[in-house]
Amino acid sequence: MVNASKQLITGLGVLLLFSVLSVSCYAMDYPEEVEIDSLANLYEPVIFDHAMHVDATEGCAECHHHTTGTPVLNAYCAKCHTGDVEMDVVACQDCHSADPVSPENLHNPKPGYSYHNDQPNLKAAYHLKCLGCHREVDGPTGCEDCHAKTEAGDKFYHSGEFAPKEDAQHGAEHE
Amino acid sequence: MKKLETFGIKPHDASLKADGEKWSIMEKLLLGLTLDQYIGQAIRNKLNWFFAIIFAIGIPVIIYRFIFSLGAVTHASYDYPWGLFLGFGLFCMVPLSASGFMLGTTVEVFGRHDFEPIERLALLNGLLGYFFAVVYLLVDLGQPWRLSYPMVYSFGPAAVLFLVGWHVATYLSVQVAEVSTAFFEWIGFQRGYDFIRKGTIGLTVAGIILSTLHQGALGALFLYAPGKVHPLWYSAPFQWILFFISSIPAGLCMVICVSTIVIHTMKWRCDKRFIDNLDWITIALAKGSAMGLITYLIMKFIAIAHDNEWAYFFTGWGAWWWFEILGFVILPLVILSYGIHNKLVGLCRIGAFLTVLGILLNRLNTALITFNWQLYQEIPHYLEFVIAITIFAIYVATYRFILARLPILYKFRSQAEE
Amino acid sequence: MSKITRRKFLAASAAGGTAIMMAPTKKAFAAGSFEGFPDGMGVLVDLTRCVGCRTCEAACNKEQKLPEPALPFDDYSVFDEIHHGNQKRRTTDKAYTIVNRYDLKDSDEPLYRKIQCNHCNEPACLTSCFVNAYTKTPEGAVIYNSHVCVGCRNCMIACPFHIPAYTYHSVLNPVIKKCIFCYDTRLKEGRPPACVESCPQQVMTFGKRKDLMVIAHERIKKNPDKYIDHVYGEKEVGGTGWFYISSAPFEEAGFDVHLPKKPIIDNVKDFLAIVPVVLTVWPALFTGFHLLATKGKSHGHGDDHSHDEQEGH
């Protein structure tokens, strides 16, 4: 309950700030396009067509959980996140840590977040959300459908110009 | 040798020549023949030609294994890490070599000195079997030069293999000591002979302990693989007992087999004592084997009942199990019983051969054939067969070499007859 | 911890002992049971998340400096490979982790399963090794000292998950190769193994084993329709450091569901227990037999001195 009230206060602040009273997130300002580049390494950054996804989905909560002021879909989350409270953090990386298992972060859950003890890391948050939905709605699911592989990626996967030569194949057939 | 006998030439069998002179080592090695005579009989012997062919093919393959790695002569299988070298070489050779402690116990502990004519053959059979099991092991180990590590360098005392390693090593030493009496007689080292004889009882009892444990331990090794060995061949509480009990008929029948071969092919080397006693000894050994077999058979069924594995009888593996039990436990048991009852030595020998085959089949079933029964079957690489056969041929050749010289089949005399 | 200290102590005592002296220690050693290190790390593998991208295989290859693969890691034709007539791919000396695809009975979507060493609490490989080459570290990894390996391959026989592989093709230094939880390069410093870090879907969650076990059960509880109510590796063979939750019955994803719930070594304890008995009872028993059997016979046919008699000829 401490949690909920804390968030309620934060939420109220946000509400006052934007003077937005509508329950629909469509009323919110949102970016047309998002460049997801914080983890780009093996793959190029993803240029995410946010506007298209806003049109394609039924509500912000499908991706943004409880942060956009629409009712949360997950019954488990709804136990605490009951209000239609917009939060000042909506981007995935604001909550999902890129490195949740660094030694400092191992002592999860953080105080006050005892129900957030099974939070995916940022990379997984993107992929689980995107790919999970794409698989359901027959969206694109191949890795390079969303982001092109970098040279580092080709090296890592031994693909493209780094693909194994014929003789290497020979060596691996001893099984 | 038969041909030489017709010329009245007798092999070396005593510490002194007929004229009272001592034999030189060279003369002893040549069986008291001249070099020409020796080479002549060796060339006439067809078995030598057979060995020559096997060695010509097999020894290069063994060298090839050590130059080009284990992967070059096996399938390098991750699922079947143990192939023929251990499946046959270790798991079959060791039970067939249980004869040493069986006859040692009979003669020395139970005081049945009437079995003495066969005692040394049994001891030698034990020694060579173990020795060559170790040879097979050396070929199979990835880094055989580290064989002594579990003894001196890095200990894994909770491992069954640790026990097997220690006990086989210790028992090998015990058997070397036991057989050394024959060697000391042959080279004429009386003090060594006396020294060993004094410790006979100790050595024999040590032999019983070590044998009980490591024969059983070979079975217990498979307890690490529940689910990999087929349940009909696997029994957590009884595996070691089954392996130990079955080693008794295995060892005894191996002695019957070897003595049968010897009496037919090396009769010149057997003295009257051995020849005259062999028939009743064979029947007596057959009796022991039959007792062992029936105990083994009952234990087999107890193990099945204990784990409630009856349902497996009606599967393909069940049929294979029945093949092993009917053909190589029950059938030899019937043959042996009939042979014993009617004092038919030949029948006992047939029973003994079947029993030995049965032990081979059982060990191969456990270690290779039913292993990974839920995965797939793998037939060992043909070079594994070549190496296994070659080492076995070296074993037979060594066996024959020693039998021809040391006083195993004959009692050493102080002076040769004219 | 006590187990390790005891192990070291026993090894030291064994060093000075003979085979006979060592036997009782074997018993004492085997009699204990070990539930795993309290703060041992583990990995929860959620098969429902895996999409079969093989990134973990690539990451492992890079981290462990393994040889070049036969096919690129983004080549998914490997999922169709069949070996030995009916076997999917398995771990080798060149690949410590493997992802396989399983077609399910009740679903159009296949299930992918990553295999690697499960880092058992009481590993069969460790207890079967006669040179004690394996160590279960307090961090939870099962690591292997190749400098003492003799190459008997008993660990490969013992491993219930068919994990250790052997470099059969090495002439002078063939050794066991398997996943070591990236112990040397990562786990020691508290970092997750390379495969875990690389996974785009966080199929694998790294943390203390006991914390992860709670999370595993929570996931099942929160999504009873999604998961089978079983954590594979919680109890199997005494518990494993890496454990799985799945949407399909585990046997459909190639898991051996008939493994005992107790550590593999428990099967062997019965036998190890008889070792000291035989060692202590047999000498007395058989010496007794000897005395009874030879009583009053010492001058009979071929007595103990029969061999000596022949010297008098």
For the ranges A65-69, B1-5, B242-246, B302-306, which has the lowest average pLDDT? B1-5
| A175 assigned to some structural domain | no
The answer to whether the Cβ–Cβ distance between B110 and C293 falls below 8 Å is yes
The answer to whether the Cβ–Cβ distance between A131 and C51 falls below 8 Å is yes
The answer to whether the Cβ–Cβ distance between B143 and C171 falls below 8 Å is no
| A48 assigned to some structural domain | yes
| Nearest CA distance, C145 vs chain A (angstrom) | 24
> Is the confidence at residue A26, as pLDDT, over 80?
no
- Work out the mean pLDDT of chain B and round it to a whole number: 87
Q: Please count the residue pairs, one from chain A and one from chain C, whose beta carbons lie less than 8 angstroms apart.
A: 93
Question: Residues B221-276: pLDDT tens digits?
Answer: 999 988 899 999 998 888 999 999 999 999 999 999 999 999 988 888 888 888 88
Instruction: State how far the Cα of C128 lies from the Cα of C279, in Å rounded to an integer.
Output: 21
Instruction: State how far the Cα of B341 lies from the Cα of C261, in Å rounded to an integer.
Output: 50
Instruction: Give me the residue spans of the domains in chain B.
Output: 45-415
pLDDT at C50: 93
Question: Residues A92-147: pLDDT tens digits?
Answer: 888 888 876 655 555 555 666 667 778 888 888 899 989 988 988 888 888 888 88
If one looks up domain B45-415 in CATH, what number appears?
Answer: 1.20.1630.10
pLDDT at A167: 55
**Whether the Cβ atoms of residue C234 and residue C121 lie closer than 8 Å to each other:** no
> Could you tell me the pLDDT band of residue C27, with boundaries at 50, 70 and 90?
very low
Question: Residues B137-159: pLDDT tens digits?
Answer: 999 998 888 888 887 788 877 78
> Could you tell me the pLDDT band of residue A11, with boundaries at 50, 70 and 90?
very low
> How is residue C177 written in tokens?
């190769």
Neighbouring chains of C at 3+ CB pairs within 8 Å?
A, B
The answer to whether the Cβ–Cβ distance between B71 and A174 falls below 8 Å is yes
| A92 assigned to some structural domain | yes
Domain that holds residue A48: 2-147
Question: Residues B281-307: pLDDT tens digits?
Answer: 999 999 999 999 999 999 999 998 988
The answer to whether the Cβ–Cβ distance between A172 and C70 falls below 8 Å is yes
| Nearest CA distance, B364 vs chain A (angstrom) | 23
3-state secondary structure of B253: helix
Burial B149-180 (b: 16+ CB within 10 A, else e): bbbeebbbbbbbbbbbbbbbbbbbebbebbbb
The answer to whether the Cβ–Cβ distance between A174 and B78 falls below 8 Å is no
> Is the confidence at residue B62, as pLDDT, over 90?
yes
> Is the confidence at residue B38, as pLDDT, over 50?
yes
The answer to whether the Cβ–Cβ distance between A121 and C202 falls below 8 Å is yes
The answer to whether the Cβ–Cβ distance between C310 and B146 falls below 8 Å is no
> Is the confidence at residue C20, as pLDDT, over 50?
no
Instruction: Give me the residue spans of the domains in chain C.
Output: 1-14+22-33+263-290, 34-262
Which DSSP string corresponds to C169-207? T-SS---EE---TTTTTTGGGTPPPHHHHH-TT--EEEE
| Nearest CA distance, B198 vs chain C (angstrom) | 10
Over residues B77-92, mean pLDDT? 91
> How is residue A116 written in tokens?
């957030």
| Nearest CA distance, A89 vs chain C (angstrom) | 23
Q: Cα–chain-centroid distance for residue B318?
A: 29
Residues of chain C with C-beta less than 8 angstroms from the C-beta of A158? 58, 61, 68-69, 72-73
| A106 assigned to some structural domain | yes
| A125 assigned to some structural domain | yes
> Is the confidence at residue C310, as pLDDT, over 50?
no
pLDDT at B336: 93
The answer to whether the Cβ–Cβ distance between A168 and C68 falls below 8 Å is yes
Please give the tally of structural domains in chain A: 1
Residue A56 maps to which CATH number?
3.90.10.10
- Work out the mean pLDDT of chain A and round it to a whole number: 74
> Is the confidence at residue A48, as pLDDT, over 60?
yes
The residues, ordered by sequence, that sit 6+ positions from B269 with a Cβ below 8 Å of its Cβ are: B1, B11, B262, B403, B404, B409, B410
- DSSP annotation of C83: B
Helical axes B239-265 vs B345-364, angle rounded to 10° = 130
Residue type, B308: N
- State the alpha helices, DSSP H only, in chain C: 2-16, 19-31, 55-63, 124-128, 154-158, 194-198, 209-222, 265-294, 306-309
> Could you tell me the pLDDT band of residue C12, with boundaries at 50, 70 and 90?
very low
Residues of chain A with C-beta less than 8 angstroms from the C-beta of B76? 174-175
Strands C204-208 and C41-46: antiparallel
Neighbouring chains of B at 3+ CB pairs within 8 Å?
A, C
Spatial CA neighbour of A46 closest among C200, C255, B73: C200
> Could you tell me the pLDDT band of residue B212, with boundaries at 50, 70 and 90?
confident
Question: Residues C195-226: pLDDT tens digits?
Answer: 999 999 999 999 889 888 988 998 999 889 99
- DSSP annotation of A32: S
Residues of chain B with C-beta less than 8 angstroms from the C-beta of A171? none
pLDDT at C183: 94
Instruction: State how far the Cα of C57 lies from the Cα of C100, in Å rounded to an integer.
Output: 11
Nearest CA in chain C to B241: C271
> Is the confidence at residue B189, as pLDDT, over 90?
no
The answer to whether the Cβ–Cβ distance between B113 and C129 falls below 8 Å is no
pLDDT at C290: 81
pLDDT at C23: 41
pLDDT at B347: 92
For the ranges A40-54, B1-15, B61-75, B388-402, which has the lowest average pLDDT? B1-15
Question: Residues B99-110: pLDDT tens digits?
Answer: 888 888 888 888
Interface of A with B in 136-175 (CB under 8 A): 174-175
> Could you tell me the pLDDT band of residue C267, with boundaries at 50, 70 and 90?
confident
The answer to whether the Cβ–Cβ distance between A124 and C202 falls below 8 Å is yes
- DSSP annotation of B109: I
Paired with C224 in beta bridges are none
Q: Is the pLDDT higher at C34 or at B366?
A: B366
Of A101, A157, A159, the CB nearest to C206: A101
Omega prior to A109 cis, within 30 of 0 = yes
| Nearest CA distance, A18 vs chain C (angstrom) | 35
| A93 assigned to some structural domain | yes
Instruction: State how far the Cα of A149 lies from the Cα of B59, in Å rounded to an integer.
Output: 54
> Could you tell me the pLDDT band of residue B321, with boundaries at 50, 70 and 90?
very high
Does the CB of C206 have a partner CB in chain A at under 8 Å? yes
B-interface mutation test, from C131, C262, C274, C304, most B Cβ less than 10 A away:
C131
Does the CB of B376 have a partner CB in chain A at under 8 Å? no
CATH class as words, domain C34-262: alpha beta
Does the CB of C205 have a partner CB in chain A at under 8 Å? yes
> Could you tell me the pLDDT band of residue C78, with boundaries at 50, 70 and 90?
very high
The widest CA-to-CA distance across chain B, in whole angstroms, is 73
Over residues C33-41, mean pLDDT? 73
For the ranges B121-130, B206-215, B314-323, C31-40, which has the lowest average pLDDT? C31-40
> Could you tell me the pLDDT band of residue C9, with boundaries at 50, 70 and 90?
very low
| Nearest CA distance, A168 vs chain B (angstrom) | 18
